[in-house]
A and B are shown apart, each in its own frame.
Chain A
Amino acid sequence: MYKHPPGLRGFLVAIGLLGAAILAAFSIGLFAYWALERLATSASNPEGVPNYTLLITSALALIPILILLARRYAYLTDWYYLLPAMLFLLAFTVYPIVLTVYLAFTNYSGLHNGKPDRASETRVVRLAGRTLVLDGPAETSLRCRNPSCSEELVELVGEGRRVYDRIERAEENRLVLARAPDFEPRYVYRVNTFSYVGLKNFVFIFANASRALIPVFLWNVVFAFASVLSTALLGLILGIVLNNRRLPLRNTYRTLLVISWALPGVITIQMWVALLNKQFGAINRLLGLLGVYPIPWLLDPLWAKVSVLLVNLWLGFPYMMTATLGALSTIPDELYEAARVDGASSWQSFRRITLPLLRAPFIPILLSSFAYNFNNFNIIYLLTGGGPSSEGRLSTAQATDILISWAYKTAFRAEGQSAYGLGAAISLVIFAITVGISLVNFKFTGALKEERK
């Protein structure tokens, strides 16, 4: 068998070799993609090959490189077991995280999306060296943002080619480009570039803290905390009741009560929107029989919060009940027998045996449930959409919005004006909080300590 080079050096060598292999494969893949693109692009097919071809060519290039590497460094094959997972993590988790960090410092948005603005399409009359003659005044028809279009990025299209170029200046209907195109362009588009804006997004978040961050954060904490508490309480009671082996039908009750866990949440949450309708909802119909006037479940800012918590209780208690039953099944019966022999009442053995032994398995469940609910986007977005509106708030951060739905609405909804950069900045704030919660979780559970062998 083979031996790994020891210690930190061995780790760095292995990572370095793998990194070099991935980089080499990526370069070869890029080259192959570029070649394919050149081959496939024609007047009839101006788009060329789709961009994801790059992923395929890189993956194909990686395989022979890895085989060659394994011949020279046999111990590297251990790492190959981890490589698929590592590659996917790198491409679709680590890279997006890095990208999020980068975007948080830019003004990337619907207006600055890095793409050619199709509304700025302008016909090119003729080309003379570096100068384009357009069929209209350049500054207005290209909708330039800078005076005389200087430094704006444009896309030139013609003869089945698309090329980006930079404008030096514009005079009437003439454009002077930084670089002369090697073909005859027919149309020109201005590109909506986005740029580095420093801490502007974070300044916006904290400058408007009283209109969004603080109330949203407070409600987020209250929501997660109350959700965990209510589901855990009901789940604990039911779990303890159903754990009693002398209770007839206990398995039937258990099977029936997990129904709200068994149904897909994305469907049941939307079902609740109709059930909680003020005038026609099934819940208010039932309450009407009890002499309760129709409750504005989803229309009143405060009642909407109650609705979210109630629906989350309905959704979440079966998990807690099952967890309680699982934890209770690990308590050995001998303990109870010994207690009975010593003359303890059932209440005493519950107080002194069941509750203390439930604590250890329950703390990680509670913490992970808190972390889950802290970012529970589905229930907020599908039940209330963050609404109803609250006075003096940003339009993206309404009465029941939590941080994650605030970020989503900022980035992807009309009222947020597709401010991706700002949304990314909010995401980073959430990430910091989530990591904090998880660290507390690990500290409590000690899950990492035993790994450090």
Chain B
Amino acid sequence: MRRVVFGALVAAIYVVVRQVVFGLGSSNAWLVLAYESGDAGLALTLLAGVLFLGLIAARFGSSWRDVLAVVAGLEAGTYLLAIGQALGQAVRPRPAFGSVFIPGGWRYVLVGYLAIALLLLVYSAVYIGVKNRLTRRKQSVWTFFGYALIHLFLVSLVMLVFYPVIQVVAASFDPTNNLFSFRRVNSPFLLVRAKVLPDFSRISLENYQRLVEGVVIYGYQWALLAAAALALLLALWSGYKLRRLGPVEPWATLQGRALSVFALLAFLLVVLVSPSQFGGRSTESKFLLWVRNTLLLSSATGFLAVALTATAGYAFARFRFPGRYPLLLTFIFVQMFPGFLALIAIYYLLSALDLLNTFTGLLLAYSGGIISFGSWVYKGYIESLGHSLEEAAYIDGASRWQAFLRIILPLSAPIFVFIFLLQFVGTYSEFILANLVLTGVEKWTVGIGLYSFTTGQFSTKWGVFAAASVLGSLPILMVFYGFQQYFVSGYTAGAVKE
């Protein structure tokens, strides 16, 4: 209590001093705001809010630090309020064209949430009451209610996080193909009328058709595609079995084999597709070619990363030669210069080597950024393996190279998958270098292609953009959810170890 009084006193003195020194107008934004609005309630609320911030800042520490903290909190509160005020002034009080506007709609939502919370409370009371009666135990209603509220929070968050995704997926099936559409939706449901929920009455595949217009796929490519799909299904099926039965033998091997076959077939398909198969006249009819380009680039970068870092990581982990430490330092510090900072130089270098607008050029440009991190991760992995296996091999007369090839490499599959996937996903999302190097429409990646739709063309290509976003995201979505444990364990292992 003494602390609160002290803090309030400091705050009051500060406010007065600041008013006297700077004068009204520019200093205490919240006072200005309250003064201009002429609302005593608002003024008091703002005063309380700013004081609260100051007191929160003063929560820790002792006397003179408290003074500083109160002042800092008040300053921060003042600036935040000033920013909020500026943000508010930038909004014109005019509802958007053709939108559903409900004045004070947030009140309904708030009441709705309170009603749901009340309902949950009643439900938990009844449920726990009955359960306690039946099992003769004493469980707290409040714990159960707490869990219910956590679920409410999480479900709301999931809906918020998914809202943009659902909007884009819905737009991809909407044939109007125009972001700036005034069309009203006739529906008994308010949320559908407001176009917050998609209108399912008008589903069309037109946008997707425009993406594949004029695409010719040869018979053997269909066969490859079918075989790849089959392999993927097999892998998924065995994965499902594995989850149910635990790591049992036929399924574990099957899953590995099916995945390798799928990867091989998919890679073959990507390599065999040629730009001449995409004869459509519009830009968007090249979309599948962009996907193919991106997949080709991403997998090539992944392979290059594994190939370059495997031997380097091994040498750093196992060899003790003079100069190992400075070299390791060099690797790390060179990596701090992000590849794209040297954009200008890389552009200059590639143009000097006649490698602009080629995948090779872009791949070489990427190679700089992938080595250090991969070597570092792989080095850590080998160090965790232990020496005993290699020592046994040395006793049997193996050379270093043989020990590496026969013993270390086969054990390194998981970390190679991690390095590969990281590069794969990273390259898929890379924009800046690709945009610089790949200038011809037949060499574009998904990101560049989509960027060409957004630059001032949402009026005609919004639906196409949405459809392309959905299709273009699928490969990464599959990779991510398929190999989630690799990402999670790889990242977090690195995080915890570092």
Give A268 Cβ to nearest chain B Cβ, in Å. 8
A55 at the interface (CB under 8 A from B): yes
The digit string for B291-314, where 1 denotes a CB below 8 A from any CB of A, is 000000000000000011101101
Q: Which residues of A contact B123 (CB under 8 A)?
A: none
A127 at the interface (CB under 8 A from B): no
Q: Which residues of A contact B315 (CB under 8 A)?
A: 78-79, 81-82
Complex contact A84–B465 (CB within 8 A): no
B381 at the interface (CB under 8 A from A): no
Give B218 Cβ to nearest chain A Cβ, in Å. 28
Task: Give bound CA distance, A296 to B93, whole Å.
Answer: 11
Task: Give bound CA distance, A319 to B488, whole Å.
Answer: 9
B154 touches which of A85, A241, A291, A365 (Cβ 8 Å)? A241
B100 at the interface (CB under 8 A from A): yes
A256-B158, A257-B157, A279-B96 are known contacts. Are A289 and B343 too (CB-CB below 8 A)? no
B194 at the interface (CB under 8 A from A): yes
Complex contact B103–A291 (CB within 8 A): yes
> Would you call the interface of chain B mostly helix, strand, loop, or mixed?
helix
A288 touches which of B95, B162, B428, B489 (Cβ 8 Å)? B95
Give B182 Cβ to nearest chain A Cβ, in Å. 9
B321 touches which of A14, A54, A377, A427 (Cβ 8 Å)? A14
Q: How many residues of A contact B (CB 8 A)?
A: 124
Q: How many residues of B contact A (CB 8 A)?
A: 127
Task: Give bound CA distance, A354 to B472, whole Å.
Answer: 40
Complex contact B498–A322 (CB within 8 A): no
A247-B147, A288-B102, A289-B196 are known contacts. Are A434 and B336 too (CB-CB below 8 A)? yes
A314 touches which of B161, B332, B336, B344 (Cβ 8 Å)? B161
Q: Which residues of B contact A54 (CB under 8 A)?
A: 353
Complex contact B343–A411 (CB within 8 A): yes
A365 touches which of B100, B190, B342, B495 (Cβ 8 Å)? B495
Complex contact A430–B341 (CB within 8 A): yes
A65 at the interface (CB under 8 A from B): no
A197 at the interface (CB under 8 A from B): no
Complex contact A288–B164 (CB within 8 A): no
Task: Give bound CA distance, A314 to B164, whole Å.
Answer: 10
Q: Which residues of B contact A435 (CB under 8 A)?
A: 333, 336
Within 8 A of A (CB), among B144-184: 147, 150-151, 154, 157-158, 161-165, 167-168, 171, 179-181
Complex contact A100–B428 (CB within 8 A): no
B429 touches which of A93, A266, A365 (Cβ 8 Å)? A266
Q: Which residues of A contact B91 (CB under 8 A)?
A: 292-296
Complex contact B345–A100 (CB within 8 A): yes
Q: Which residues of B contact A270 (CB under 8 A)?
A: 447, 450-451, 454, 465, 469
Most buried by B among A95, A98, A99, A280: A280
Q: Which residues of B contact A430 (CB under 8 A)?
A: 341
Within 8 A of B (CB), among A93-109: 93-100, 103, 108
A262 at the interface (CB under 8 A from B): yes
Complex contact B338–A375 (CB within 8 A): yes
Complex contact A266–B371 (CB within 8 A): no
Q: Which residues of A contact B96 (CB under 8 A)?
A: 278-280, 284-285, 288, 294
Q: Which residues of B contact A277 (CB under 8 A)?
A: 179, 458
Of all chain A residues, the one with the shortest Cβ separation from B92 is A293
Q: Which residues of B contact A262 (CB under 8 A)?
A: 476-477, 480-481
A103 touches which of B331, B345, B476 (Cβ 8 Å)? B345
Q: Which residues of A contact B327 (CB under 8 A)?
A: 82
Task: Give bound CA distance, A294 to B429, whole Å.
Answer: 31
Complex contact A408–B161 (CB within 8 A): no
Q: Which residues of A contact B105 (CB under 8 A)?
A: 288-291
Of all chain B residues, the one with the shortest Cβ separation from A282 is B167
B343 touches which of A294, A408, A431 (Cβ 8 Å)? A408
Complex contact B90–A84 (CB within 8 A): no
Q: Which residues of B contact A295 (CB under 8 A)?
A: 90-91
Q: Which residues of A contact B307 (CB under 8 A)?
A: 84
A274 touches which of B352, B454, B481 (Cβ 8 Å)? B454
Give B52 Cβ to nearest chain A Cβ, in Å. 18
Of all chain B residues, the one with the shortest Cβ separation from A425 is B344
Q: Which residues of B contact A275 (CB under 8 A)?
A: 164, 167-168
Stretch at the interface among B65-73, B250-258, B360-368: B360-368
B346 touches which of A6, A92, A253 (Cβ 8 Å)? A92
A6-B322, A296-B90 are known contacts. Are A286 and B311 too (CB-CB below 8 A)? no
B412 at the interface (CB under 8 A from A): no
Q: Which residues of A contact B150 (CB under 8 A)?
A: 241, 247
Complex contact B161–A260 (CB within 8 A): yes
Complex contact A267–B450 (CB within 8 A): yes
Complex contact A322–B488 (CB within 8 A): yes
Task: Give bound CA distance, A206 to B308, whole Å.
Answer: 40
Task: Give bound CA distance, A411 to B495, whole Å.
Answer: 35
Of all chain A residues, the one with the shortest Cβ separation from B323 is A11
Within 8 A of B (CB), among A289-332: 289-296, 300, 302-303, 306, 314, 319, 322-323, 325-327, 329-330
B492 touches which of A247, A327, A451 (Cβ 8 Å)? A327
The digit string for A139-167, where 1 denotes a CB below 8 A from any CB of B, is 00000000000000000000000000000
Complex contact B368–A286 (CB within 8 A): no
Task: Give bound CA distance, A77 to B191, whole Å.
Answer: 69
Of all chain A residues, the one with the shortest Cβ separation from B334 is A93
Q: Which residues of B contact A261 (CB under 8 A)?
A: 480
Most buried by A among B316, B371, B430, B436: B371
Complex contact A322–B492 (CB within 8 A): yes
Complex contact A294–B94 (CB within 8 A): yes
B129 at the interface (CB under 8 A from A): no
A96 touches which of B167, B346, B436 (Cβ 8 Å)? B346
The digit string for A1-26, where 1 denotes a CB below 8 A from any CB of B, is 00011111111001100000000000
Q: Which residues of B contact A408 (CB under 8 A)?
A: 340, 343, 432
Within 8 A of A (CB), among B75-122: 83, 86-87, 90-97, 99-107, 109
Complex contact A81–B345 (CB within 8 A): no
B30 at the interface (CB under 8 A from A): no
A51 at the interface (CB under 8 A from B): yes
Complex contact B158–A257 (CB within 8 A): yes
Task: Give bound CA distance, A91 to B365, whole Å.
Answer: 9
Most buried by A among B168, B338, B369: B338
A81-B319, A266-B430 are known contacts. Are A88 and B308 too (CB-CB below 8 A)? yes
Sample 28 A-B pairs with CB under 8 A, ordered by A number: A52-B355, A79-B315, A89-B331, A93-B337, A98-B345, A262-B477, A266-B428, A270-B469, A271-B164, A271-B168, A271-B466, A275-B164, A277-B458, A279-B96, A286-B196, A288-B95, A291-B102, A293-B95, A295-B90, A302-B86, A302-B87, A322-B488, A323-B492, A361-B495, A375-B341, A407-B341, A423-B344, A427-B344
- 8 closest pairs, A vs B, by CB? A326-B492, A11-B323, A93-B368, A266-B447, A99-B345, A96-B342, A96-B345, A81-B315
Interface on A for B, CB 8 Å cutoff? 4-11, 14-15, 50-52, 54-55, 75, 77-82, 84-86, 88-89, 91-100, 103, 108, 238, 241, 246-249, 253, 255-268, 270-275, 277-280, 282-286, 288-296, 300, 302-303, 306, 314, 319, 322-323, 325-327, 329-330, 361, 364-365, 375, 377-378, 381-382, 404, 407-408, 411-412, 420, 423-424, 427, 430-431, 434-435, 438, 445, 447-448, 451-452
Interface on B for A, CB 8 Å cutoff? 83, 86-87, 90-97, 99-107, 109, 147, 150-151, 154, 157-158, 161-165, 167-168, 171, 179-181, 190-191, 194-196, 307-309, 311-312, 314-316, 319, 321-323, 325-329, 331-349, 352-355, 360, 364-365, 367-369, 371-372, 375, 400, 404, 425, 428-432, 436, 446-447, 450-451, 454, 458, 462, 465-466, 469, 472-473, 476-477, 480-481, 484, 487-489, 491-493, 495-496, 498
